[in-house]
Structure 1
Amino acid sequence: MIRHIVMWRVAGETEQQRADTRLRVKAAFEGLRARIPGMTGLEIGVDISRVDYACDLVLVAEFQSREALDAYATHPAHAEVREALDGLRIARHQVDYVIEC
C-alpha cells in the first residue's frame, strides 16, 4: 500500500475568497472517490488552525500499489480536476510513502 499526501495553499484576495476556494478544491477531489482504480481511500481536510505557516488543505489517499498511484497521476478524472482548479492552488507539497503493515 502507498499513502499519497498533498498539501496546498490556495489563492484569494480576501478570506472569503480563500474559504470559497478551499471548499471548491475539497469538493473537486472528493468527487474522485470510487472513480480511480486502485485507490483504496481518499480524505480531504481543511485546516482549522489558521496559523500563518499552515497549508489550507490536505489530501490523504491510499493506493494498492505504486502502479496504481502512477495511474492516478494520469487518470482522466484526475486530469479534469487539475484543469478545473488550475491557478487556484498557489503552493503544493507532496509526500508518497509505503505503508508498513
Structure 2
Amino acid sequence: MIEHVVLFKFSNETTKEQKEEGMSRLIQVKDKIPGIVDIQAGTNFSDRSQGFESGLTVRFESKEALEAYGPHPAHQDVVAYLKEIGMTEVLALDFECL
C-alpha cells in the first residue's frame, strides 16, 4: 500500500468556498482514476500547520498506481482548478505503508 499526503497553501484572495470545492473535486477523482483505495481531504483546524490550510491523503494499491495518478487527466483538471483559485504552495510526501 502506498500513502500520498499533500498539504496546500492558498492566496489571501482564495475563499473558503473555493478551497472546499477544490478538496471536493480531489475526493471525486477516486471514481475516475484506477488504483485508488481511499481518498480523504479537508481543511486544517490546528495551529501547527505552518500556514498550510488544506490536506489530502490518497491510499494507492501500488507505486504504479501512484505514478499513473499524477499525469491522469482527472487529476490534472483538479490541479488546474487549484492553481486558478490561488494555490500558492504545495507539499507532497509519498511512502510505502509498513
Q: TM-score range by the shorter chain?
A: 0.7 to 0.9
Which string of whole-angstrom CA distances, capped at 9 and with x for unpartnered residues, describes residues 54-96 of structure 1?
Answer: 4101100010111100000111111111112224211111110
**1:50 CA drift (Å):** 4.9
SS at match of 1:90: strand
Q: Are residues 81 and 31 of structure 1, via their aligned partners in 2, closer, same or farther at CA, if it must alter by over 3 Å? A: same
User: How many angstroms apart in 2 are the aligned matches of 1:25 and 1:11?
Assistant: 14
SS at match of 1:74: coil
Judge conservation of contact 1:5–1:96 (CA < 8 Å) in 2: yes
SS at match of 1:7: strand
Matched-pair identity in %:
26
**Residue of structure 1 in register with 2:55 after alignment:** 58
Q: Which has the larger radius of gyration?
A: 1
Judge conservation of contact 1:47–1:54 (CA < 8 Å) in 2: no
User: How many angstroms apart in 2 are the aligned matches of 1:25 and 1:48?
Assistant: 17
TM-score, scaled to structure 1: 0.85
Judge conservation of contact 1:12–1:21 (CA < 8 Å) in 2: no
Confirm whether residue 86 of structure 1 aligns to residue 80 of structure 2.
no
Structure 1: tracts of 5 or more residues without a match: none
Letter of the structure 2 residue corresponding to residue 9 of structure 1? K
Structure 2: tracts of 5 or more residues without a match: none
TM-score, scaled to structure 2: 0.87
SS at match of 1:61: strand
Number of residue pairs aligned between Structure 1 and Structure 2: 97
Confirm whether residue 36 of structure 1 aligns to residue 33 of structure 2.
yes
**1:97 CA drift (Å):** 0.2
Confirm whether residue 99 of structure 1 aligns to residue 94 of structure 2.
no
